[in-house]
Structure 1
Amino acid sequence: MEAAPPPAPRAPREARGRAAQRLANSRAKEPERPSPVRLWLRRRRKLLRPMGIGIASIAGIAVVAAGIYALDPTSRLRFIVENFAVFARDNAGFAVQEVEVVGRKNTPKELLYSALGVSRGDPILSFSPEAAKERLETISWVEKASIERHLPDRIVIHLTERAPFAIWQNNNRFAIIDREGREVVADRLDAFGPLPLVVGAGANTTAAGLIEQLHDAPDLLARTQALVRISERRWNLRLYNGADVLLPEGHEEAAIRRLAELQQRDALLDRPLAAIDLRLPDKLVLRPIPTAAPAEQTPQRRGSGRG
């Protein structure tokens, strides 16, 4: 019986360790392919890094500015604010790029942008919405303005304009007024459609109620050429046919109803009248148009001829 062959010699433990290390090193040298999520994060990190630097710088300047302001709150405040706004514009994109105006119909654009006081590319942080609002509300067309600053680059303006209500004539001067009697424009009067004409001192601030009462008597309103304020106390209606309707002081509404009834019943306004006096509630005075007296004919003498 043959003896079994001797076992193969085993490598020393140190040799086995070195082989394992070489295998691990060779595997480590193989590049690891990043996942899609990791690639996305790397790209966003590169994009956000400059903005992060800008925002961090702005935050740092804000801290320094606050310290300087605490030491000297009066003389250096404007300098700090202006320089901070310029830095924010140049380093973080805080510059005006868009101005949106909502509600503008009649306000001239050149007046609006002049009062706004900002241009494209200006630092948006140095723009004061409160100061711009005050300037906008000095424009005659603007009743109310609100301004929003949308960082980093947008300004939104909301306007409430005064509505044209009537044309006011005073001392041969004409102007468009709103319901409260404020002048909004003194030119292009025909650009706003047919508007009631009110005449005289104080007519601008007191005509609204009478105009609304005339809207309840559309036939009379259509015949009325002008509402004339008399001595700043009462009203006359000047009709297109030349007649004057004298209204009582403080009782215009009742007189208008009375006149509308007379027109419906008797066609009073179709008569050739110079004036209709309604100042007394229990009396109606009509003044006809004076007729011209016939011209006198001068008798002509017959010339005597010789026969």
Structure 2
Amino acid sequence: MARSPQRGEGGTRRARGTAGSALDRPTSLRLWLRRRRGLLRPAGLGLLGAGALVVTAVAVMAADPYGRLAALWDGAAEIAAGGGLQVQDVLVDGMRNTPPELVREALSVRRGDPILGFDPHWAREQLEQIAWVEHAHVERLLPNTIKVRLEERKPFAIWQRESRFAVIDREGKVVATENVGAFGRLPLIVGAGADRAAGPIVDLLHDAPEVQERVHALVRVSERRWNLRLRNGADVLLPEGQEAAAIGRLAELQAKQGLMDRPLAAIDLRLPDKLVLRMAPGQPPPEPPGSGQKAQGTTRSGRG
């Protein structure tokens, strides 16, 4: 009886001295698990054995959190895999624009891997680091299936800054810089700050289809206001903060006078009570588009 404390103290010192290599050598617990692997081959017993080991792991965690817990969990996964709990299928829903290779890399799982060794929470975090993925949901469906549901960011516009093009969502987050041409139907926005400010102006154009169909690009000027670059090369200068009224006015002029189809270099709508037109080089002076409007030629550059 008097020697027991001495053995316990010596055992404690040896455990502390070899904590770093405890998982590198076979422990009695690991050997015990290996001996019993053959007893749990059927899938039903594999579920029962794995469940019992998981419950045991909770108890062991309190007494020995850094020693045998990892070995116990690895052993449980090995036994469960031997009992049929192996990854056989990965089902992915909602993957439309996300590259499949990025999903495979994020999941980091192969057929035949122990399904209990797969961490759904870690996989979700990896998936949500992909630019296209806004939210991800990952779950294990025992005995052999992993199910993934992706909520992708919606492509909203193509953003050009200098010579670089990117697909962005409505909030301005870049979701793709490759294969941008596949999204050629999206609005083209240009300039610094255009990525963050494009939402409202794009919505206004959706409500004015006779204007939208003639617009090639929306150009952000000095990060304050917008120009509309028309398909015929003309620029429409919009006032800062009064885009809705200006686009409504432009739609009315188009319906009555076909203003955007004329050979113009610029249509300046920045002043609410004045319309300024600049002709394309070599074109005759314009006629007033309406009796209530005053047309005036100008050589202004169109800068904000």
TM range (shorter): 0.7 to 0.9
Q: Are 1:103 and 2:94 counterparts? A: yes
Q: Equivalent residue for 1:277?
A: 268
| Rounded Cα–Cα distance in structure 2 between residues aligned with 1:60 and 1:211 | 58
Change over 3 Å in CA distance of 1:66–1:272 after alignment to 2: closer
Give the SS at the match of 2:236.
Answer: strand
Q: Which amino acid aligns with 1:66?
A: V
1:138 to 126, 129, 141: 129
Displacement, 1:229?
0.3
Q: Equivalent residue for 1:153?
A: 144
2:221 to 219, 226, 230: 230
Q: Which amino acid aligns with 1:174?
A: F
Poorly superposed stretches of 4+, deviation over 6 Å = none
Q: Are 1:290 and 2:278 counterparts? A: no
Change over 3 Å in CA distance of 1:143–1:152 after alignment to 2: same
Displacement, 1:50?
4.7
2:76 to 74, 84, 90: 84
| Rounded Cα–Cα distance in structure 2 between residues aligned with 1:289 and 1:53 | 83
Q: Are 1:71 and 2:76 counterparts? A: no
Contact 2:109–2:118 (8 Å) recurs in 1: yes
Between stretches 246-255 and 186-195, larger displacement belongs to: 186-195
Give the SS at the match of 1:208.
Answer: helix
TM-score, normalised by the number of residues in structure 1: 0.74
Q: Equivalent residue for 1:202?
A: 193
| Rounded Cα–Cα distance in structure 2 between residues aligned with 1:56 and 1:83 | 14
| Rounded Cα–Cα distance in structure 1 between residues aligned with 2:180 and 2:138 | 30
Q: Which amino acid aligns with 1:186?
A: T
Q: Per-residue displacement from partner, 1:203-247 (whole Å, max 9, x unpaired)?
A: 111112111111111121111111000011100001111111110
Contact 2:266–2:278 (8 Å) recurs in 1: yes
1:215 to 199, 206, 211: 206
Contact 2:263–2:279 (8 Å) recurs in 1: yes
Displacement, 1:193?
4.2
| Rounded Cα–Cα distance in structure 2 between residues aligned with 1:57 and 1:101 | 29
Q: Equivalent residue for 1:166?
A: 157
Give the SS at the match of 1:181.
Answer: coil
The two structures, once aligned, show a CA RMSD in angstroms of 2.0
| Rounded Cα–Cα distance in structure 2 between residues aligned with 1:126 and 1:142 | 24
Contact 2:46–2:85 (8 Å) recurs in 1: no
1:129 to 84, 100, 120: 120
Q: Equivalent residue for 1:247?
A: 238
Q: Which amino acid aligns with 1:78?
A: A
Segments of 5+ residues of structure 1 without an aligned counterpart are 1-47, 293-307
| Rounded Cα–Cα distance in structure 2 between residues aligned with 1:266 and 1:59 | 78
Q: Per-residue displacement from partner, 1:138-171 (whole Å, max 9, x unpaired)?
A: 1111121111211111111111112222111002
Change over 3 Å in CA distance of 1:103–1:57 after alignment to 2: closer
| Rounded Cα–Cα distance in structure 1 between residues aligned with 2:214 and 2:175 | 27
Displacement, 1:185?
1.1
Q: Are 1:114 and 2:105 counterparts? A: yes
| Rounded Cα–Cα distance in structure 2 between residues aligned with 1:189 and 1:51 | 48
Give the SS at the match of 1:236.
Answer: strand
Give the SS at the match of 1:191.
Answer: helix
Displacement, 1:275?
1.0
Displacement, 1:267?
1.6
Q: Which amino acid aligns with 1:81?
A: W
Change over 3 Å in CA distance of 1:79–1:223 after alignment to 2: same
Q: Equivalent residue for 1:299?
A: none
Q: Equivalent residue for 2:36?
A: none
Give the SS at the match of 1:105.
Answer: coil
Displacement, 1:58?
3.3
Change over 3 Å in CA distance of 1:59–1:270 after alignment to 2: closer
Change over 3 Å in CA distance of 1:54–1:176 after alignment to 2: closer
Q: Which amino acid aligns with 1:150?
A: L
| Rounded Cα–Cα distance in structure 2 between residues aligned with 1:194 and 1:50 | 55
Give the SS at the match of 1:157.
Answer: strand
Q: Which has the larger radius of gyration?
A: 1
| Rounded Cα–Cα distance in structure 2 between residues aligned with 1:52 and 1:167 | 53
Q: Equivalent residue for 1:13?
A: none
TM-score, normalised by the number of residues in structure 2: 0.75
Q: Equivalent residue for 1:177?
A: 168
Q: Which amino acid aligns with 2:253?
A: L
Give the SS at the match of 1:140.
Answer: coil
